[in-house]
Structure 1
Amino acid sequence: ALANTRMDKGSCKRRSDLQNRCTAQSLDPHDKDKQPLKATVLQKDVGLLSGICLIIGTMIGSGIFISPKGVLLYSGAVGPCLLVWTACGVLAALGALCYAELGTMITKSGGEYPYLMEAFGPIVAYLYSWTTVMVLKPSSFAIITLSFAEYASAPFYPGCPPPPIVTKSLAAAGIIIIVSVNCLSVRLARYVQNIFTAAKLFIILIIVAAGIVLLAQGKTETFSNAFEGASSSAGSIGLAFYNGLWAYDGWNQLNFITEELRDPHRNLPLAILIGIPLVSLCYVLVNVAYFTVMTTTELLLSPAVAMTFGNRVFYPMSWIIPLFVVFSTFGSANGSCFTAGRLAYVSGREGHMVKILSYISLKRYSPMPALLFNGFLAFCYMLQADLGTLINYFSLAQWAFYGLASVALIVMRFTRKELHRPVKVPIVIAGLMALVSCYLVLAPVIDKPELEYLYCVVFILSGLLLYYPFVHLKLKWARNLMRPITTHLQLLLEVVPPETSD
């Protein structure tokens, strides 16, 4: 990566040729003073509103329309179900506060990656980037686009689930469109995020308003004996939290784009303080609305909870629910793609991924190779995806890294005292997040051991097999193998290494 190694002469020449060609295409010779060339780095174009929309838009996606069944199934009753949703909101807020301190202390993009690098060194940071770039981010992207496809196709197959070939084809189309938008224009990707965030808040407002009206009319049967049949298994409660926290996942998304955020010391914590409490309130009220219309059995048997709610409450206007759910999942997928590309870009820049992933489009100022790579992996996962299984194992690995990030905050309180901390949370919050993360990782494994958990751990550690020869030793034959591939991709995509400031 350019941050750690010198760019060879051939790469410099290719970069100069690309710059000259793109400049000739995009600028009139007489307007050079009016349109100065930007540095080939990711631009600081994300303001407070776009930051809030990214948090809300990524958190509110498919989860609130899928996870209610999972939370209810593992919690066992309405009362514990609502408590789990509330507790998940509190955990998301506490975790986001820790990330606000980390993000304002180390203003680098890449989510947990720079924090783990500073606290524990390159090996732990590499394992995080390896796992997240190769599995967590693309599988999350695949899950959300599959949810988008299920809701988009459901109205055309009343009374039965859509054929898998239809949902997978729609999901593939969604991946292609979203990746294309993010590659072609960072500004357009932001506009898409803002518009679809407004759409999903609108449909949630409609659902919540309908639930309040029904409660006022006395529809409270489901809330009687709300704790009857509650689960007492630690593993089941852990899985209930997994499903709830899947719906809340996204509270750390701004930390992936810190380098593109205007005034991150102000806008990062402010966006968190506005976005996450709003999402938490929406989630609890939406679940209350669901329970005013459906019994616990009906909710568990519903193939699409939000659509069942719409059919019973808004008929003959029930089509409005799947339409806006499609908007919601599409916006969430866009946010997931937007941030995933930044992690691959940063890890490539630091030498932990192939160098081409750290290159930036000269015309679009987007990390095009990283976005295309994430989209390709998401497409592969989408072909074989099982939503329930992916959610469980995604959460296992993800919360392990959340816990490590909380421990990193504690470690740097003692090892990096000189760093400026515009936001400083009580250290007990970081400790609590670390303990909760340990519980969420270990409880399901201890309660019901399965080989899939072992596969997850083996995959994470298998990254060391690549780290030692390709990152630590930097074998010459590996660089020689990648050089022609990098050259052809650079010329094809018109991308260059990011500029650095000394």
Structure 2
Amino acid sequence: MSETTAVSAQPATEQGFKRSLGLLDATMIVAGSMIGSGIFIVSADITRNVGSAGWLIAVWLLTGFMTLTAALSYGELSAMFPKAGGQYVYLKEAYNPLIGFLYGWSFFAVIQTGTIAAVGVAFSKFTAYFVPALEMNDANVLLDLGWLKIYPAQLVSIVLIAFLTWINTRGVKEGKLIQTTFTVTKLVSLFGLIAFGFLLAANSDTWNANWSAAWNMKRMTTDGSLTPVLGVAALGAIAASMVGSIFSSDAWNNVTFIAGEIKNPQRNIGLSLFLGTLIVTVIYVLANIMYVSVLPLAGIAGAPSDRVAVAAANAIFGNIGTYVIAVMIMISTFGCNNGLILAGARVYYSMAKDGLFFKKAGTLNKNAVPEWALWAQCVVASILCLSGRYGDLLDMVSFVVVIFYMLTIAGIFKLRRTRPHAERPYKAVGYPFLPALYILMGLTFCTLLIIYKPKFTWPGLIIVLIGIPLYYLALRNKRK
């Protein structure tokens, strides 16, 4: 990022918050919030959509490029508005309070809470390798209401979310310790898995077979049968594939929500966004290259329950590989949820300070954290765990998430015009080319989803639009 000649002084600490997070902590929040269970699973669905090694890697590279571009663009906004709330604040400042509220409402209703629920249930599912009673099957149903089934795994997920919420109510230092420890552990574990894959299980015959027709796109079923994908339908296949890779690469912006607790935020937020997203992008691409060097494409597409990493680990370590991956995913999802829980509550805090959320969410406890907001987030995430619909909801909002990212990055152009003399300690890298390219790529992705996967689009828009009457209701209550 290019630095201006006049860098503003360290901003005053936001009232009540303590700036106790350094660059390493911020980077670990970026990387740790991004890496959950997706990299271990979603490559199966991507392979079924594109049917070739070249396009599998290309989807991850494209997603990584979009993520890095967005992160570099956010550096400018994070330096202009170094306070709690992140993307909510950027949208409010660039456009108006309604746009900011619609993001915050969607964030509370589904985006953050649904991700917390999904990651929590992933933790429980892989714990089931060690505790079979946590398998989500008919033999382990605790309560069957016909329209709703409750499994022990869901209750374990709720206990995990509540435990991490409690930890984070005790202060940002406690959450920081968990985040840094677990993120470093899972980064080392992932690099280790990749290295062992190349050293112990890479097979030249498998590699050559997978790359023999690397750019012939095909739709692949779990039994390995192929259907060529031709013409413009290829774009639809790429867009459908990227739903999974974008979900796996999302939450990188969580560090912006806790700007009020980061030391020298004008420098460290932008730098942590770049470093964190770069580290994760490299890991994701290398992991998929390892997959195609160890497993045939049919083995990736047809991995049981889409657990590609388990299939790869079995090829590397034998039967014990299943348990190796189970432990890795438990570590990964535990740390991921800690970062999501820690950061998310700061958005509700900022909304409450603007009079657009429950008033109690805008208060800090004796440990200088928004305890009420943390528990409110916990309740909604727990309900989504019990509903079992978090996966569907997240598919529905992937479209909306990208729209909000595009709006936020477009806000850079708007603020350059409306506030030309505002201090910008950092400026978006590659402006205006890279931010404009991200917007173009995002528009293409969203348009293709509308055409080829409409079920991923309109439900998410409905969730966002429900926020409009809620906004005006909040305004009316604010005036009383």
In the superposition, the TM-score normalised over structure 2's length comes to: 0.86
Question: In structure 2, what is the equivalent of residue 400 of structure 1?
Answer: 403
Equivalent residue for 1:67, pick from 15, 21, 42: 42
Give the paired residue count. Answer: 436
1:428-450, Cα deviation, whole Å (9 max, x unpaired):
22222222222222211122433
Question: In structure 2, what is the equivalent of residue 298 of structure 1?
Answer: 299
Question: In structure 2, what is the equivalent of residue 351 of structure 1?
Answer: 355
Equivalent residue for 2:94, pick from 119, 122, 138: 119
Question: In structure 1, what is the equivalent of residue 226 of structure 2?
Answer: none
RMSD: 2.1
Question: In structure 2, what is the equivalent of residue 191 of structure 1?
Answer: 177
Question: In structure 1, what is the equivalent of residue 440 of structure 2?
Answer: 435
Asked if structure 1 preserves the Cα contact closer than 8 Å seen for 2:50 and 2:238, the reply is yes
Equivalent residue for 2:216, pick from 206, 228, 240: 228
1:472 positional shift: 4.6
Question: In structure 2, what is the equivalent of residue 146 of structure 1?
Answer: 121
Distance 1:281 1:99, change over 3 A: same
Question: In structure 2, what is the equivalent of residue 320 of structure 1?
Answer: 324
Equivalent residue for 1:215, pick from 179, 192, 202: 202
Question: In structure 2, what is the equivalent of residue 377 of structure 1?
Answer: 380
Question: In structure 2, what is the equivalent of residue 338 of structure 1?
Answer: 342
1:46 aligns with 2:46: no
Segment drifting more, 429-438 vs 45-54: 429-438
Equivalent residue for 2:418, pick from 415, 418, 433: 415
Asked if structure 1 preserves the Cα contact closer than 8 Å seen for 2:355 and 2:478, the reply is no
1:458 positional shift: 2.3
Segment drifting more, 244-253 vs 214-223: 214-223
Question: In structure 2, what is the equivalent of residue 109 of structure 1?
Answer: 84
1:228 positional shift: 3.2
1:351 positional shift: 0.9
Asked if structure 2 preserves the Cα contact closer than 8 Å seen for 1:133 and 1:374, the reply is yes
Q: In structure 2, how many angstroms separate the alpha carbons of the residues matched to 1:436 and 1:407?
A: 13
User: Which amino acid is 2:101 matched to?
Assistant: Y
Distance 1:253 1:463, change over 3 A: same
Question: In structure 2, what is the equivalent of residue 466 of structure 1?
Answer: 470
Q: In structure 1, how many angstroms separate the alpha carbons of the residues matched to 2:197 and 2:23?
A: 31
SS at match of 2:128: helix
User: Which amino acid is 2:212 matched to?
Assistant: S
Question: In structure 2, what is the equivalent of residue 129 of structure 1?
Answer: 104
Q: In structure 1, how many angstroms separate the alpha carbons of the residues matched to 2:14 and 2:342?
A: 20
Asked if structure 1 preserves the Cα contact closer than 8 Å seen for 2:179 and 2:335, the reply is yes
1:132 positional shift: 1.0
User: Which amino acid is 1:252 matched to?
Assistant: N
Any gaps of 5 or more consecutive residues in structure 1?
1-37, 477-502
Any gaps of 5 or more consecutive residues in structure 2?
1-12, 142-150, 219-228
Q: In structure 2, how many angstroms separate the alpha carbons of the residues matched to 1:63 and 1:388?
A: 12
SS at match of 1:250: coil
Question: In structure 1, what is the equivalent of residue 59 of structure 2?
Answer: 84
Q: In structure 2, how many angstroms separate the alpha carbons of the residues matched to 1:140 and 1:79?
A: 29
1:104-142, Cα deviation, whole Å (9 max, x unpaired):
011122121111111111111111111112221100111
Q: In structure 1, how many angstroms separate the alpha carbons of the residues matched to 2:395 and 2:52?
A: 20
- Select the structure of larger CA radius of gyration: 1
In the superposition, the TM-score normalised over structure 1's length comes to: 0.82
Alignment of 1:162-181 (within 5 A): 163=140, 165-181=151-167
User: Which amino acid is 1:235 matched to?
Assistant: G
Percentage of identical aligned residues: 26
1:322 positional shift: 1.0
